[in-house]
Chains A and B, each alone.
Chain A
């Protein structure tokens, strides 16, 4: 009997406590920048696509929901011809972001992706590409890679010597 009354009293007191429930969607919860939500493809500081079509995200994806096809422009710069994520399969584990060697694929704090039709959860490259660099600022893979893809000439990279003149006579 006493315990019942005590319970009623405690519940009564809660009427004067601060409310825990967030009134979503009118009120948004704070999500930290590293929160693993919707996947985006970012661009390098020059505004070009960062994705080089290396297939590592697709390979590491535990539910195999990423598929792409790499292609090249006339300078030899590799980029995805198509890049498709089936978000109806995605488990937002973030392994693709970890695997990405160019910081192109990033998970952002956005989870509002509800759809009435599963088909609408298939995102193509146009849906995934954003206009900024995302969480990683200032990185352009083609400036540190060895190949010449129209971004820097051979030997012009930060960590590169000039190309060897193979006909020089000095040892």
Chain B
């Protein structure tokens, strides 16, 4: 970064020379109004709001008006933000923008956190002088997530620039001309993009607002916020979760320059509603003669601790949805030998493999944000848009990286969005996808390859071999030519085709500056993981700087497997009963299940058998499910909204999340329940259990047992941390209604709850400045009430946060033995006649059972179906939409057929995570009976 000296209002500053004047001014903390510019979307100069006066030289007194966002930083540049001409221009511009803005603020969901409000106040405009009528627009229904109110639009074009250009959406565009321009769909309907929720934050005013918030609307200043981590997939995006009157109201992006940056996917943003579900378990329950009956927490603790203290052996089953701390305390309670990671063995072994490859491999795994900087991508076996949506968004940016690098070579700055776009003309960089079926990213791919997972692994191994072979040939550059010609090698011979494809991928990866390989465990194939690692190893040997990203299914998959290498089947098989019917008299008669619906994980018969053998089934969970209905003792566990904890994402990044509010019921973190059970069981009867230990001391004992996790103690300031003498408030200073919100119950105000486990407080009193990044509950700065206040929390706009981006990476490549990779090339897949190999199909809405309980998400979940290969269906005369009988785990199910998914012959696909497919362990073979075609 070259520093350049400039003068702003005759004050000298040294700024980053590669930026524009607006970005530099904001980075310096100066208040310069803007609308269309966005750090991730760059400059187009559409809104004319960031006008400044630019002087020719030191003597110039007149200057000329320029747009700061389009003005490159140059040496000895002299500008003025405060010059009267510039101020007047900006005030006039806002006045013009506001001529058609409706009188909506009191009923607008953006009010109070509106960038347009902030900028209007900043420029001083306060009275509409324009005497004519206001232009109006009709609105559109845009689905369950985003509300549309087009009257409020100020034509900044941010929405379409994000939706179409950044996120690759097709169904939001701009229509009509001049001040009639209209941003919407060609016709009413659900916004298709998986990232549509970002429009809520990208729109500077209230055109696009959060529909889930609208249902229980609360102003920003009334929300109790906490820094949290999204639990809906393995990527670990940072979120701000907000509460009012005991329910969670919305999720916003929490900026983390190393992870999700400014954006979130719709599953993460709108999937929170399950926290407020009527299915929540709110009180402990104990099984009486027939059914579960509610009990007081003390009663439940007494009964369960008596079972624990009775000395019988117990087993504990952890969960990849639960925090490290909860899993660890369960492990401590039952003993490491009796603790099982609550995932099937096939999945667990793959996650273990991922950890091994990340820890002992040669190649560094990039963070989610770093993915954007790779200029060639090879996706191996992952439907990224559905298994790790935010990774897909960043892969789309990586696809633009190659062409944008060419533009940079022409001395056009990357932030000059219109110029860059003119030159790039929609071309994408080198991007290869090998998956069993069509994926949303196929549209940006240079080439795609749809085949069985074994064949994908064969392709990947072939690519690795070609890369190794290239070293003997003089240089890779000579062979890059065919990387750019997608049709190269399209012959009738499939083997030659395969050969040509693998060669062109190898050439492309070698030609790139930074090649990236993306794989994961979604197809349950270890060969895919190994083949991906062998490509990156080969690239590393060619002195390239490759990246390797593995996608894992759940929020704490990696953390759970780091704690235990025993899986569900190990627990099930440990004590096989002599006879199936008779409950075993084995000494393990108690199972403690932690936030885990076993019926989602394993076959119903298998799960039933296991649970029937347990005399006591102690379940800690937050929502009713098939497993909680089998419980003898049920404890209400917290969701992410009521718990503190640590998660480890797919990158091996440990991140802390904090509880948003203290619920007024018995719900508490699983680790708090386990701690109480532990101390109640170990203490003498009639002696009150010792004072409970706090979160930090659990962390200490955790890292004592697992030294490789030592970094998790440094993720965030300890509970004793104070800014000066003050805690960090979870509520903004304008939090309202404190003396009335509980007055219907009792006019005497209750004492606010205290948070002994963190440096955050549940009140509005406390430190008012910029807190440490891991403890930032909301963004606000004087004059900046909208999400754009994030500028004030960053060292430079779009860069790291003051104090560094939160989260700690646990794995760096150690490059110890190359021997961990022995190529194990699978045989090509040959279909067995009459049998179908069923692969899992993932859906951003539906494959995650928790978010699927949210009403908004529920509307987007697909109906169960079975996807078949087109030619297979042709042979049997099955048409799209026909119902067929599928044998699933011994039971016949009738499912409608979906074709044109690109699945290879002999395979079928079933959506994973839906109720109809719960407990299925992919991949498996089955038969399909076409039956009568009705």
Partner-B contacts on A (CB < 8 A): 52-56, 58-59, 61, 63-72, 78, 82, 84-86, 88-89, 101-102, 118-119, 121-122, 124, 141, 144-149, 154-155, 157, 159-164, 166-168, 171
Contact = CB atoms under 8 A, between A and B. Distances in A.
Nearest to B737: A67
Contact of B736 (A58, A141, A149): A58
Interface stretch (B375-383, B743-751, B860-868): B743-751
- Which interface residue of B103, B149, B218 has the most chain A CB atoms within 10 A? B103
A103 to B, nearest CB: 11
A163 B100 CA distance: 12
Contacts of B747: 86, 88, 118-119, 121-122
A113 B112 CA distance: 34
Contact of A146 (B151, B178, B217): B151
A171 B178 contact: yes
B105 A101 contact: yes
- Which interface residue of A53, A118, A141, A166 has the most chain B CB atoms within 10 A? A166
Contact of A122 (B111, B738, B744): B744
B137 A171 contact: no
Nearest to B175: A166
A86 B739 contact: yes
B741 interface: yes
Nearest to A117: B747
A55 B744 contact: no
B704 interface: no
A54 B107 contact: yes
Contacts of A61: 736-737
A59 B740 CA distance: 12
B106 interface: yes
Contacts of A65: 737, 739-740
30 contacts: A52-B107, A54-B105, A54-B107, A56-B106, A58-B222, A64-B736, A64-B739, A65-B739, A85-B740, A86-B740, A122-B740, A122-B747, A144-B103, A145-B102, A145-B103, A146-B134, A147-B102, A148-B139, A154-B138, A154-B151, A157-B134, A157-B136, A160-B133, A160-B136, A161-B133, A161-B135, A161-B136, A163-B137, A167-B176, A171-B177
A164 B176 contact: yes
A122 B180 contact: no
Given A55-B219, A145-B102, A164 B137 contact: yes
Contact of B743 (A86, A147, A148, A163): A86
Interface of B: 102-107, 111-112, 133-139, 149, 151-152, 175-178, 180, 182, 214, 216-219, 221-222, 245, 734-741, 743-744, 746-748
A167 B138 CA distance: 13
Contacts of A54: 105-107, 111
A163 to B, nearest CB: 5
In order of increasing CB-CB distance, the 5 nearest A-B pairs are A146-B102, A67-B737, A54-B106, A58-B736, A67-B740
A170 to B, nearest CB: 10
Contacts of A167: 175-176
A145 to B, nearest CB: 5
Contacts of B738: 64
B104 A145 contact: yes
Contact of A63 (B134, B151, B221, B739): B739
- Which interface residue of B107, B136, B748 has the most chain A CB atoms within 10 A? B107
A102 B106 contact: yes
Contact of B734 (A53, A59, A72): A59
Contacts of B133: 159-161
Nearest to A69: B245
B155 to A, nearest CB: 12
A58 B737 contact: yes
A159 B219 CA distance: 28
A64 B107 contact: no
Contact of A145 (B107, B112, B138, B178): B107
Given A54-B107, A67-B743, A145-B102, 17 more contacts: A52-B107, A54-B105, A55-B218, A56-B106, A58-B736, A64-B735, A66-B737, A68-B737, A70-B217, A78-B217, A84-B740, A86-B740, A144-B103, A147-B102, A155-B136, A159-B133, A164-B136
B104 A89 contact: no
A161 B133 CA distance: 6
A53 B135 contact: no
Nearest to B149: A147
B208 to A, nearest CB: 14
Nearest to B180: A164
A144 to B, nearest CB: 5
A58 to B, nearest CB: 4
A86 B139 CA distance: 39
A56 B112 CA distance: 9
A53 B218 CA distance: 9
Contacts of B216: 69, 71
A149 B107 contact: yes
A76 to B, nearest CB: 9
Contacts of B135: 161, 164
A72 B180 CA distance: 29
Contact of B152 (A53, A66, A82, A146): A146
A157 B100 CA distance: 13
B104 A147 contact: yes
A164 B133 CA distance: 13
A37 B245 CA distance: 29
Contacts of A85: 740
A34 B739 CA distance: 26
Nearest to B177: A171
Contact of A154 (B106, B136, B152, B740): B136
B126 to A, nearest CB: 14
A146 B111 CA distance: 14
B564 to A, nearest CB: 44
B740 A66 contact: yes
Contacts of B214: 72
Nearest to B147: A76
Given A69-B216, A84-B744, A86-B743, A52 B736 contact: no
Contacts of B136: 146, 154-155, 157, 160-164
- Which interface residue of B112, B134, B151, B739 has the most chain A CB atoms within 10 A? B739
Contacts of A141: 106-107
A166 B182 contact: yes
A69 B139 CA distance: 25
A71 B139 CA distance: 20
B103 A84 contact: no
B180 A53 contact: no
A159 B134 contact: yes
A59 B105 contact: no
Contacts of B149: 146-147
B217 A89 contact: no
B159 to A, nearest CB: 15
A54 B134 CA distance: 23
Contacts of B736: 55, 58-59, 61, 64, 66-67
B107 A154 contact: no
Nearest to A85: B740
A110 B687 CA distance: 59
A99 to B, nearest CB: 10
Contacts of B740: 58, 64-67, 84-86, 89, 122
A53 B217 contact: yes
Contacts of A58: 222, 736-737, 740
A122 to B, nearest CB: 4
Given A155-B136, A163-B137, A163-B138, A147 B105 contact: no
Contacts of A88: 747
A65 B740 CA distance: 5
A160 B133 CA distance: 5
A40 B580 CA distance: 70
B182 A164 contact: yes
Nearest to B101: A146
Contacts of A163: 136-138
A148 B107 CA distance: 11
A88 B748 CA distance: 10
A67 B152 CA distance: 28
